[in-house]
Amino acid sequence: MLKKRSLQSAQKARKKNMVNLRFDEIPAQWYNILPDLPVPLPPPQDPKEGPSRLQNLPNLMIGECLKQEFSTERWIDIPGGVMDLYAKAGRPRPLFRATNLEKKLDTPARLYYKSEFFSPTGSHKVNTALAQCWYAKQQGFERVTTETGAGQWGTALSYAAALAGLKSTVFWVRSVYNWKKDRLSFMKLLGADVHASPSPITSVGKVLYDRNPEHAGSLGIAISEGLEDSQKDSKATYCLGSVLNHVLLHQTIIGLEAKRQFELFNDYPDSVISCLGGGSNFGGFALPFIADVLKKGKKIRFIAAQSEVAPNLQGKYEYDFADYAEMTPMLKMYTLGHKMDMEPIKGDGLRYHGCSPIISLLRNKGYIETIAYSRDEKHVFEMAKVFMEAEGWLPAPESAYSVCCAIEEAIKCRESGEKKAIAFNVSGHGFLDISGYRNVLGLD
Question: What crossing angle do the helices spanning 280-296 and 245-265 adopt, rounded to 10°?
Answer: 60
Q: Does 259 bind ligand PLP (CB under 6 A)?
A: no
Judging by DSSP bridges, how do beta strands 18-19 and 95-97 pair with one another?
A: antiparallel
Query: By C-beta, is 135 or 401 nearer to ligand PLP?
Result: 401
**Sequence-ordered strand ranges (E) for 161-300:** 167-173, 193-197, 236-238, 271-275
Instruction: Look at residues 314, 319, 411, 412 and name the one whose alpha carbon lies nearest to residue 363.
Output: 314
Distance between CA atoms of residues 222 and 352, nearest Å: 11
Q: Considering CB under 6 A, how many residues would be counted as binding ligand PLP?
A: 21
Site for ligand PLP in 124-153 (CB under 6 A): 125, 150, 152-153
Q: Does 327 bind ligand PLP (CB under 6 A)?
A: no
Query: By C-beta, is 281 or 328 nearer to ligand PLP?
Result: 281
Q: Does 220 bind ligand PLP (CB under 6 A)?
A: no
Query: By C-beta, is 230 or 399 nearer to ligand PLP?
Result: 399
Angle at 394 between CA 426 and CA 397, to 5 degrees: 65
- Least Å distance between CB 173 and ligand PLP? 12
In three-state secondary structure terms, 317 is strand
What is the x/- site pattern for ligand PLP, positions 161-190, by CB under 6 A?
------------------------------
Distance between CA atoms of residues 77 and 253, nearest Å: 11
Q: Does 275 bind ligand PLP (CB under 6 A)?
A: yes
Site for ligand PLP in 8-67 (CB under 6 A): none
Q: Does 89 bind ligand PLP (CB under 6 A)?
A: no
- Least Å distance between CB 55 and ligand PLP? 27
Query: By C-beta, is 44 or 428 nearer to ligand PLP?
Result: 428
In three-state secondary structure terms, 145 is strand
- Least Å distance between CB 152 and ligand PLP? 3
Q: Does 359 bind ligand PLP (CB under 6 A)?
A: no
Which one of 39-47, 100-108, 395-403, 405-413 is the stretch in contact with ligand PLP (CB under 6 A)? 395-403
CA distances 359 to 74, 271, 328, Å, are 17, 16, 19
* Phi, psi (degrees; rounded to nearest 5) at 182: -65, -40
Instruction: Look at residues 279, 249, 241, 254 and name the one whose alpha carbon lies nearest to residue 356.
Output: 279
Among 220, 255, 278, 311, binds ligand PLP (CB under 6 A): 278
CA 255 from centroid of its chain's CA atoms? 12
Q: Where are the alpha helices (DSSP H) in 232-322?
A: 245-265, 280-296
Contact positions toward ligand PLP, by CB under 6 A? 123, 125, 150, 152-153, 242, 275-282, 349-350, 396, 398-399, 427-428
